Amino acid sequence: MRLNGNPHQWYDKFPEERTIADDIDRNHSYVIERDGAICGVFSFIIGEEPTYKKIEGSWENDDTYGTIHRVASNGQINGIFDMCLKYCESKISNIRIDTHKDNKIMQHLILKNGFQERGIIYVADGSPRIAYQKIKKQF
């Protein structure tokens, strides 16, 4: 992230080892593999995200949703976020995500994949994040 103009979102040792262990223990951690090697990871949680309770703006609805967090790639292949989203949409049609204002790459990917900007939320340390929501229409 630092090399791509986003030095503030994921500081040293973030995400913390405990956070990753909790994701694994709660079955919220997912990997994307190619040829037997892990090339991407993400967390996906269906249910209420505490930092999304208060938003400067508004959510499109208050229905049950899934939240994508901690998307990361080893840089070896393209399309990690697309693969992540495809999996998440197979589980629930209402998805939320947030990112740092400096994370232009993630903002581009989020908007390219049909999310709408909904406002600003604040994470646990009080720093702001741009919040997005996508509701996949069911036919």
CA of 72: how far to CAs of 39, 62, 64, 69, 137, in Å? 9, 28, 25, 9, 27
Q: What is the number of structural domains in the chain?
A: 1
pLDDT, tens digit, 9 for 90 and up, residues 74-90: 888 899 999 999 999 99
**The CATH number of the domain where 65 resides is what?**
3.40.630.30
Report the alpha-carbon distance of residue 87 to residue 33 in Å, rounded.
13
pLDDT, tens digit, 9 for 90 and up, residues 111-122: 999 999 999 999
Mean pLDDT of 47-63: 97
Q: Which domain holds residue 22?
A: 2-135
* pLDDT grade for 14, boundaries at 50, 70 and 90: low
CA 18 remoteness from chain centre: 18
Tokens, residue 92: 């629930």
- Non-local (6+) Cβ contacts of 27 within 8 A are none
* pLDDT grade for 12, boundaries at 50, 70 and 90: low
